[in-house]
Structure 1
Amino acid sequence: MSLDSTLDITVERAGVTFAFGVTNPDTEPIDLTFRTGMVADVAVYQDGVEVWRWSDGRMFTQAIETQTLAPGETLVFEANWDDPTPGSYTAEASLAATNVTLVEREPFETP
């Protein structure tokens, strides 16, 4: 089982938007298993220290769920970080599936 992933970051005055895409490049469907309603997460680091995480303070359903990605299908997870402090950061997006480990990291700057 293989998956492709992307992390697109859009920086605007009001905040930062993260779009984490997970694509099934195979010719067969791929089942992704999740322990909760959280499909993915995004954390932001500055100088190696975590300064923001999308999932902090959120609650998720506690049920095992399977989501099937058809061949060529893309699952997109979006998160918004409102009003960040100006600086240089690294975003880390991760898939929350129990049967696949997938992480994307991208540097970015806020004005």
Structure 2
Amino acid sequence: MKFEISLTNQTEETVELQFPSGQQFEIIVRDRKGTIVYQYSEGKVFTQAIVIKEIKPRETVTWTDEWDMKVNGELVKQGEYFVTAQLQIMSLNGESVDPQQFMIEKKVVI
């Protein structure tokens, strides 16, 4: 399963995004019981330094990830799953932001 998170600067000014670390996004997949079956960051190591990314006017930036749909080496069962994707932005043009505004949740059926 491929994941794609895109953010478009819809203004006429360059914007500066600030991330608290090298991890710029998180993706979590849960089953119907709420159990996490996939988490992008699990087992990864990220730079522990602030990362700044500039987005030009009308530019779209895309982050991608791919999940093999396995848990402990076994394919997940067919059914409904809930995907939460969130950009880990801590400030926009130097102003703190509510992280919830950069989060989306979707239901998928496998």
- Band of TM-score, shorter chain: 0.7 to 0.9
Distance in 2 between the 1:83 and 1:27 partners? 40
Structure 1 match to 2:69: 83
TM-score (norm 2): 0.79
Instruction: Give % identity.
Output: 28
Q: 2:52 aligns with which of 57, 66, 71?
A: 66
Distance in 2 between the 1:50 and 1:28 partners? 39
1:105 paired with 2:99, answer no
1:93 paired with 2:85, answer yes
Structure 2 match to 1:12: none
**Cα RMSD (Å):** 1.3
Structure 1 unaligned residues grouped into runs of 5+: 1-15
Distance in 2 between the 1:56 and 1:40 partners? 12
Distance in 2 between the 1:83 and 1:106 partners? 16
Please state whether the residue corresponding to 1:72 is helix, strand or coil.
coil
Rg comparison, structure with higher value: 2
Q: 1:25 aligns with which of 1, 10, 15?
A: 10
Distance in 1 between the 2:60 and 2:84 partners? 19
Question: Which deviations, in whole Å up to 9, do the C-alpha atoms of 1:21-79 show, x marking residues without a partner?
Answer: 11111111111101211111111111233221011110011111211111111111111
Q: Give the paired residue count.
A: 95
TM-score (norm 1): 0.78
Please state whether the residue corresponding to 1:82 is helix, strand or coil.
coil
Structure 2 unaligned residues grouped into runs of 5+: 71-75, 92-96
Distance in 2 between the 1:26 and 1:104 partners? 21
